[in-house]
Structure 1
Amino acid sequence: MSGSGGIATLADHKRRRVEELIARTSEAGGVSLIRDAGRRLLRNPTAVVGAAIILLFLVIAIFAPLVAPHDPVQRFPELTRDLTVDHIPGATAGHPLGSDPLGRDFASRMIYGARQTLFVGVLATLIGLLLGVLLGVIAGAVGGRVDMVVMRLTDVMLALPSLLLAITLVALASRSTQWTVIIAVAVVNVPIFARLLRGSMLAQRESDHVLAARALGVKRHDIVLRHMLPNSLTAVIVQATLTFAVAILDAAALSFLGLGDPDINRAEWGLMLGVDGVRYFEVRPELAYFPALAIILVALGFTLLGESIREALDPKNRR
C-alpha cells in the first residue's frame, strides 16, 4: 500500500507541475518561434548595432532632399573659383565636406548616394529572391528531370565567382545602365536562393504534416503552397538579409570598374569611388575615403543583422 501511495503522490506532483506550466504559458500568451527570436534579437547587441546602422542610412536615403544642404548636381561658383587639376577645395562654410572635381557639394552627393546605392542593392536582391524562389519551388515540388535541369543550371552559375559572372552579364549588354547593374547582380543571386529553397522543400516533402495532407487527398499545388513553401521560407529570408550586403558590394564594384551607369550626374557611391576617388586620390583622398567608408558601413549593418537573425531563428539556440 505504501508503494502504491508513493506512486500516486509522485503522479499528483507531476500533474500539478504540468498544470502550473500550462497556466504560466497561457498567462504569457504562449511564445512562438518568431516572438522568441524577436526577444533575443532585442537582447543581442550585434543585432541592435546592425539594425541601427541600416535604419540610419535608410532615413538618410528616404529624406535625402530634406537632409542634403544642396542640390547634388549644382555647381557652385565659390567652389569652382579655386578648382584646378591639382587643387580641389575642402571644407568651407556651407559645404562641410568640400567640393568634388566638378565644383559640386560633396556632402550632398554623399547623402543622395545613399538613396541610389540602397535602391540598386535592395532591388537587385528582391529580384534575385523572387526568381530564386520560383526556381526553387519548381525544383523542389516537381522533382525528376525538372529538378535535375534546374540544379545543374544553378551548379554552373555557382561555379563562377559572383563578381566575374556579374561583369560578364553587364559586358553582354550593348550599353551599361543602372538597370543592367541591377539585373546582373540579381541574376548572380538567383542560384543561391533557388538551391537553398529547393533543399528546404525536399526536407519538408517527407514531414508528417505533408504526409497527412497527402493521405487526406489534398491537391498537390495546395500542399506545395500552403504546407511546404511557408515552412521553407525562413532560411531563404535570412539569406536575403545577408545577400543585401553582397549585392551592395557587387553593385559598387561594377560601378567602380566603370561598368555601371555612365551618368556622372548620378550620385552613387561606387561611381563616386571609381570616377573621382581613384583619379584624384593624390589631390584629395577624402573623395575615396567617404564613399568607401559608407559602403563598408552599410554592408556591415546588413551582415550583422543577418547573422543575428540566423542565430535567433536557429532552434538549437532556443533556451
Structure 2
Amino acid sequence: MCDERPDHPTRGGRPPRRRRRARHRQAPRRRDRARHRPARRPEEGKAKLDALAQASADQGGVSLVRDAFRRLRRNPVAMFGAAIVAVFVLVAVFAPLLAPHDPAQRFDELTKNLTVDNIPGASDGFPLGSDPLGRDFLSRLIHGSRQTLFVGVLATLIGLGLGALIGAVAGAFGGWVDNILMRVTDVMLALPALLLAISLVAMASRSSQWTVILAVAIVNVPIFARLLRGSMLAQRESDHVLAARALGVKQRSIVLRHMLPNAMTAVIVQATLTLSTAILEAASLSFLGLGDADINRAEWGLMLGVDGVRYFEVRPELAYYPALAIIVVALGFTLLGEGMREAIDPKNRR
C-alpha cells in the first residue's frame, strides 16, 4: 500500500504548494512596483476639483423654475394643453377683431326667414348661420370666449386671494385660530360645489354676472385654504424657518418672507386646475338660468342653455358648438395644470 496522496490540481490548475511558492516569488515584485510608484500629490486632486467647479460655474446653475419649465416643455400632453389655452386666450383678447359682426345686432338677411321652426343655417357672410333672434352665431361664439375667460379668471383670482389669506393665517398661527378656520372650510367642503354655488346665487335678489363670479369664487376658497395651510405647516419645521426664528426674526417677517413664498408654488399650480372647474361651474349656472339675465351678452353657458336646449330639435348646432368649446377649453386648462404639477413635483424629476 502506498500512502502517497495524488497531487490533485486546484481550481487554478496548480497544486497548493506550487501556488504558495508562486505567491512568494511575486511578492517582492509587487513591493518594488509599489515602492517606485509615484505618490499622488494633493495639488493634483485640488486641481481636478477646481476644474470641475470651473466647468460647473461656466455652465451656470439651473433654478427650480427653469428646471420645472424644461420638464414641462418635454411633456407633450402639457404642451397640447398649453396650445389650447393659448388659442383660447388669443381668441378672447382679439374677439372684436376676429368676429365678423356685432354679436348683439340683428340682421335682416337672417330674420326674414326666421321662424320658431326654422332657424337659418350657414349662408354668405354668416358661416355658422343665425341664432334664434337673428344674430350672427359665429360672432356670438367668438365673443363668448371673452366672457367665459373673464368670469373664470376673475372667480379663480378671488377664490385664490381669500383662500390664501385663510390658509396663511391658519398655517402661520396654528392653535385655536387654525381649528376655527379649518372647521369652517371643512363645512364648505362637505357640500357639493355646484349645490353650494346654486345656493349662493339663489340668495341674491337678482342674478347677474357678478353673482356668478362671487358664487364660483366662494366655492373655490376652501380648496386653496386647505392646500396653502398644509404647505405652511410643512414650512414651519423647515431648517431655514427654524434658523430665522433662532436669530430672533419677527413672526411677521418669517411668514411673509420665508414661509409664504415657498408655499405658494403648489397653490399657483392648483389655480390652473381650478380655472377649468370655474369655467364649468359658471357655465352650469348659466345653463340652469341662474347666470347673467342680459340676453345680449354672449356667454357659452347661456348660449347652451337658452338657445341650444330650447331649439335642439330645430337646429342642434346651437348646442353642439358652445358645448364643444366649453369641453375643449376645460380640457386644455386641465392638461396644462397636470403638466405643471408633475413638472414642479420633485418626485417626478428624471
With normalisation by structure 1, the TM-score equals 0.95
Q: Alignment RMSD, CA only?
A: 2.0
Runs of 4+ in 1 over 2 A off after TM superposition: 1-6, 8-25
Question: Could you list the runs of 5+ residues in structure 2 that have no partner in the other structure?
Answer: 1-30
Aligned positions of 1:63-78 closer than 5 A: 63-78=94-109
Q: Deviations over 1:25-46 (max 9, x none)?
A: 3122111111011111122111
Deviation at 1:85, TM superposition (A): 0.7
Between 111-120 and 139-148, report the one with greater CA deviation.
139-148
Aligned with residue 108 of structure 1, among 139, 147, 157: 139
Deviation at 1:22, TM superposition (A): 2.8
Q: What is the rounded CA distance, in whole Å, between the counterparts of 1:132 and 1:3 in structure 2?
A: 70
Q: What is the rounded CA distance, in whole Å, between the counterparts of 1:117 and 1:17 in structure 2?
A: 59
Question: Could you list the runs of 5+ residues in structure 1 that have no partner in the other structure?
Answer: none
Q: What is the rounded CA distance, in whole Å, between the counterparts of 2:93 and 2:305 in structure 1?
A: 24
What's 1:82 paired with? 113
Q: What is the rounded CA distance, in whole Å, between the counterparts of 2:141 and 2:77 in structure 1?
A: 26
With normalisation by structure 2, the TM-score equals 0.87
What's 1:189 paired with? 220
The answer to whether the aligner puts 1:42 opposite 2:87 as a matched pair is no
The answer to whether the aligner puts 1:293 opposite 2:328 as a matched pair is no
Aligned positions of 1:12-161 closer than 5 A: 18-161=49-192
The amino acid of 2:199's aligned partner reads T
| Count of matched residue positions in the alignment of Structure 1 and Structure 2 | 318
Q: Percent identity?
A: 74
Aligned positions of 1:166-205 closer than 5 A: 166-205=197-236
Deviation at 1:16, TM superposition (A): 6.4
Q: What is the rounded CA distance, in whole Å, between the counterparts of 2:328 and 2:46 in structure 1?
A: 54
Query: Rg larger in 1 or in 2?
Result: 2
- SS at the partner of 2:240? helix
Aligned with residue 306 of structure 2, among 254, 271, 275: 275
The answer to whether the aligner puts 1:222 opposite 2:273 as a matched pair is no
Change beyond 3 A, Cα 1:195–1:86: same
Deviation at 1:290, TM superposition (A): 0.3
Q: What is the rounded CA distance, in whole Å, between the counterparts of 2:120 and 2:51 in structure 1?
A: 72
Aligned with residue 258 of structure 1, among 280, 285, 289: 289
Deviation at 1:47, TM superposition (A): 1.6
- SS at the partner of 1:229? helix
Q: What is the rounded CA distance, in whole Å, between the counterparts of 1:311 and 1:187 in structure 2?
A: 27
Q: What is the rounded CA distance, in whole Å, between the counterparts of 2:251 and 2:208 in structure 1?
A: 42
